[in-house]
Amino acid sequence: MRGGRCLRICCPTRLTTKCFVSFLFAVTTLAGAANVDWILTARIAVTMDARRRVIEDAAVAVRGDRILAVGTRAAIDKEHRAAQRLDAGNALLAPGLVNTHTHAAMSLFRGIADDVRLQEWLEKFIFPAESRNVSPEFVRWGTRLACLEMLLSGTTTFTDMYYFEEVVGEVAREAGMRGVLGQTVIGFPVADAKTPAEGLARAERFLKQFDGDPLVTPAVAPHAIYTNSDATLGAARALANRHRKPLLIHLSETKKENDDVRRARGVSPARALDALGLWNGRAVAAHGVWLDDTDIEILAARGVGVAHCPASNMKLASGIAPVVKLLKAGVAVGLGPDGPAGSNNDFDLWEEMDLAGKLAKVHSGDPAALTSRQIVEMATIGGARALGLDGETGSIEPGKRADILIAALDHPRTTPFYDVYSLMVWAMKGSDVRHVMVNGKLVVRDRKPLTLDSAAILKKALEYRGSVAASLRTGR
């Protein structure tokens, strides 16, 4: 009955296909059938949408791979019925975190050498270890280990630069993670290419292989200005532009890099790369520690995103990136753990948020230099904007991909709280994350990975630890 009158579905004596479909639709609607795949609820939601809404007693409706609706639990429950439901209770619901710079497979080199200078770390440990150990299977298991760690701490998008990047893409698909993945191009023989030309050819195959992939954005990654010729850098930019893909590069990470480039070229790395046309297209520059005001103006004018890596820059004593100046100039800045083989030993973006805030404050002498909300922005929508993915991820709003984390708030250090952004930056940890959704699919539930075999990955990582250590001892 509706309004006291019987709902007439169709004339039973002339039951056409159209009538039958109408009949089924009416019956399922009246019966309260599901019209969304998921409803997620939590005590509070940080949306990071354009209005930066924070919603108490919040709910998110997900249909397919996208967010359909965001609001209070009462409002969402009134309008929607879900096939599956996750009521998280005393928890925070937030956008999945966005990692804008890392080398995932190097997780298998974690702790191989600490407390040494960058050049010594590279020349005595990393380069020898890579030459003796890196293979497609090494990259596969190292990336699995990294993805496992990232997912368990709420990272849903990661940006990678390494070798055999097609394998990284395969693992990203397997894990159900979003990735901007760059095939490295470098001017000396490495595991997957003996020449820059081979590296460029491999990069082009990689771009074609993952073109249009729903999770993986393939990219070209010339390592740095000091490891590639001008011709190789120009060819990398042309390749990225031809395929309409991003370019990833290290930039002004150390004072030595800046000084060497200035001596050789008379200008900073950022200006030298600008003269080569490297910023004429989508680009993400990692580190940017030694950028000056003119460099920042150039990056802002060219729309270059910057990946800020505070833990790495501190651990290697590289310096402090001018993040406040970059943000004031309108540069999109994200966060990255770099590492994890000595420049940083983990992938925890919650730690990067904490360190980014503290570094900015002590560097400027101003405790208000970078607000908690700005820091959360860098880990979410700001990072997505740096990658050119802000139309797809980085916030919780209708139409965006359903990349969502849910973190518990039942710990003494999260009780009480008065400002949720302050809570996220200064009190919360990666271990607080309980559930993770990427592209509308639950990939972590109750801290248990649903797409990756944790026991097998950890077992394999220990096996690689033995072979890597032996290779450094024996030279084979």
Using the predicted structure, report yes or no on whether residue 6 has a pLDDT greater than 50: no
- What is the C-alpha to C-alpha distance for residues 2 and 155, in angstroms, rounded to an integer? 48
Cβ atoms of 306 and 334 closer than 8 Å: yes
19-33, 156-170, 231-245, 279-293: segment of lowest average pLDDT: 19-33
Mean pLDDT, rounded, for 18-30: 40
The β-bridge relationship of strands 283-287 and 178-185 is unpaired
Residues 6+ apart with CB under 8 A from 180: 157, 158, 159, 160, 217, 219, 246, 248, 284, 387, 389
Mean pLDDT of the residues in the chain: 93
pTM of the model: 0.92
- What is the C-alpha to C-alpha distance for residues 379 and 256, in angstroms, rounded to an integer? 28
Mean pLDDT, rounded, for 192-201: 98
What does the block give as tokens for 258? 């800046």
Q: What are phi and psi of 373, to 5 degrees?
A: -65, -40
Q: Which of 244, 243, 251 is nearest to 222 (CA)?
A: 251
Using the predicted structure, report yes or no on whether residue 396 has a pLDDT greater than 70: yes
Q: What are phi and psi of 368, to 5 degrees?
A: -100, 10
| pLDDT band for position 20 (cuts 50, 70, 90) | very low
Q: How far apart, in Å, are the Cα atoms of 269 and each of 45, 281, 300?
A: 41, 17, 15
In DSSP terms, 128 is beta-bridged to: none
Q: Kindly state the DSSP code that residue 397 receives in the 8-state scheme.
A: -
Provide CATH 3.20.20.140 ranges for the chain. Answer: 97-391
Query: What's the confidence (pLDDT) of residue 32?
Result: 59
Query: What's the confidence (pLDDT) of residue 26?
Result: 41
CATH homologous superfamily of domain 36-96+394-445? Urease, subunit C, domain 1 (2.30.40.10)
| pLDDT band for position 18 (cuts 50, 70, 90) | very low
Residues 332-347 pLDDT 10s = 999 999 987 778 899 9
Residues 361-386 pLDDT 10s = 999 999 999 999 999 999 999 999 99
- CATH annotation of 97-391: 3.20.20.140
* Packed helices 196-209 and 165-175: angle between N→C axes, nearest 10 degrees: 30
Mean pLDDT, rounded, for 288-298: 99
| pLDDT band for position 475 (cuts 50, 70, 90) | confident
Query: What's the confidence (pLDDT) of residue 120?
Result: 85
171-185, 341-355, 438-452: segment of lowest average pLDDT: 341-355
Query: What's the confidence (pLDDT) of residue 3?
Result: 39
Using the predicted structure, report yes or no on whether residue 113 has a pLDDT greater than 50: yes
- What is the C-alpha to C-alpha distance for residues 181 and 171, in angstroms, rounded to an integer? 11
Bin 358: left if φ > 0, else alpha if -120 < ψ < 50, else beta. Answer: alpha
- What is the C-alpha to C-alpha distance for residues 174 and 359, in angstroms, rounded to an integer? 36
Buried-state track 8-27, b at ≥16 Cβ within 10 A, e below 16: eeeeeeeeeeeeeeeeeeee
Mean pLDDT, rounded, for 209-234: 98
Q: Residue 292 corresponds to which amino acid?
A: D
Provide CATH 2.30.40.10 ranges for the chain. Answer: 36-96+394-445
